[in-house]
Amino acid sequence: MLENCGLSTASVVLPDDANPAGNVHGGTILKMIEQAGHVVATRFFNGPQRCEPHRHVFGSLAQIYQMDFQAPMFIGNLAKVFAKPTFTSDRTVEVSVEVWAENLCTLDERKTNSAILSYVAMDMETCQAIKGTIPQLKCNTEEEKQLFQEGLGRYTQRKSDSSAISPCSSPMTPKASLGPRPVAHPNAPHGKTVQQSIVSLVQVMLPGDCWARNIVAGGVIMKLMDNAAGVCAAKFCGSNVVTACIDSLSFSAMVHCGDVVHISAKPVFTSAKSMDIEVRVQAERLFGVASMETQRMPTTSGIFTFVSLDADHKPQLIPPLIVESEEEESLFEIGQKRYEARKNARTKK
């Protein structure tokens, strides 16, 4: 493995990083993770094995294969981020990231997050994807070889699978209510519809949101997505909520400084104690467009899973989702399959 590609960072989390419950905001942790992933990928692409020695490139986030929130992080903790490349295909490098929290008073440490991100190489001057094969990872230890094989399995599976997220939805045509989906507990709260919890967020991207070349950092977009998803989940549950994991998050286009991002979030699945929020991002370019009418371009989509917390910060029952259209029924069934897959994955561990 290229020794100089890995990254370790540490920073104290401050009150500015808190969510309403007083813990560190999930979106803040997402930004930490993506920043580390970006640095590792960019280092890797510009390493000694680079295909074109005189061309400078940077890593652009393409997809998140896995993002788990395993434990809360608290204000005053020391956040430690460890990132390293673990797999390469012809065009992408996979970066594995772990986040640990250290209590500076007791010196206790615990892992709070793990993630696997995929990056593509982009030309620093043209901001276009590099054509040709990227440097390939060399595995020197049995652990590195195992991680590489796991990455190869994910890459092969992703290529063969159809997307877990349906294409951008057309405006829904409500039909006769199909009713609440069954939940695992008879004491669950009364059901709610998708329409009761839809959230929209609009924000202009500023220089402070960007990497080089006025390209907005993927972590900035993910934090905004987490904000919208969190509001959506809180509206649906009527309680404090926390992010549990992120699934199938894909970046299809870059966002630039000055773009206006439109983020929409809606519930698509509920189990007894968790719910999936589908989040979609579109970018609208206000400057440099030929026509008077601007257009929105889809850039990012993902599924955020939340749990509802009671007054003692313990998971509690979630209202069942009432589906009102065939589209909502289809999204719920896809969510059910994701939920079962996550359960099976936890069982295997």
**What's the one-letter identity of residue 111?**
K
Cα–Cα distance list, 71 to 109, 244, 337, 342 (Å): 11, 9, 25, 17
pLDDT at 183: 45
Top-tier CATH class for 179-348:
alpha beta
pLDDT at 61: 95
Catalytic site residue from 17, 209, 226, 259: 226
Q: Which of 141, 142, 78, 86 is nearest to 118 (CA)?
A: 86
pLDDT at 164: 43
Taking phi over 0 as left and psi of -120 to 50 as alpha, with beta for the rest, 36 belongs to alpha
| Alpha-carbon gap, residue 207 to 214, rounded angstroms | 7
| Alpha-carbon gap, residue 267 to 181, rounded angstroms | 13
The long-range contacts involving 130-134, CB below 8 angstroms and separated by at least 24 positions, are 130/45, 130/51, 130/52, 130/55, 130/57, 132/51, 132/52, 133/51, 133/90, 133/91, 134/45, 134/51, 134/88, 134/90, 134/91, 134/92, 134/93
**pTM of the prediction?**
0.85
Top-tier CATH class for 7-160:
alpha beta
Burial (0-12, 13-18, 19+ Cβ within 10 Å), 289: exposed
Contact 93, 41 (CB under 8 A): yes
pLDDT in tens, the chain (349 residues): 445 578 999 999 999 988 877 789 999 999 999 999 999 999 999 887 776 677 788 999 999 988 999 999 999 999 999 999 999 998 899 999 999 999 999 999 999 999 999 999 998 888 888 877 788 898 989 999 999 999 999 888 877 765 444 434 443 334 444 555 544 444 556 889 999 999 999 999 999 999 878 999 999 999 999 999 999 999 999 999 999 999 879 999 999 999 999 999 999 999 999 999 999 999 998 876 655 567 899 999 999 999 999 988 899 999 999 999 999 999 999 999 999 988 887 776 6
Residues of the chain with CATH 3.10.129.10: 7-160, 179-348
| Alpha-carbon gap, residue 13 to 27, rounded angstroms | 13
Q: Say whether 310 is catalytic.
A: no
pLDDT at 141: 92
Catalytic site residue from 19, 46, 227, 240: 19
**What would the DSSP string read from start to end of 327-343?**
HHHHHHHHHHHHHHHHH
pLDDT at 41: 95
**What's the one-letter identity of residue 194?**
V
pLDDT at 30: 96
| Alpha-carbon gap, residue 222 to 231, rounded angstroms | 14
pLDDT at 173: 39
Taking phi over 0 as left and psi of -120 to 50 as alpha, with beta for the rest, 167 belongs to beta
Convert 135-150 into a string of H (helix), E (strand) and C (coil).
Answer: CCCCCCCHHHHHHHHH
The count of other CB atoms within 10 Å of the CB of residue 187 is: 7
Packing angle of the helix pair 26-45, 218-237 (nearest 10 deg):
160
Q: Is the dihedral of CA 291, 292, 293, 297 positive or negative?
A: positive
Sheet holding 92-102, edge to edge: 7-12, 78-88, 92-102, 109-123, 57-69, 240-251, 296-309, 275-284, 260-270, 199-204
Q: Say whether 226 is catalytic.
A: yes
Give the chain's count of helices (H) and strands (E).
4, 13
φ/ψ (deg, to 5) at 283: -110, 135
Helix, strand or coil for residue 203?
strand
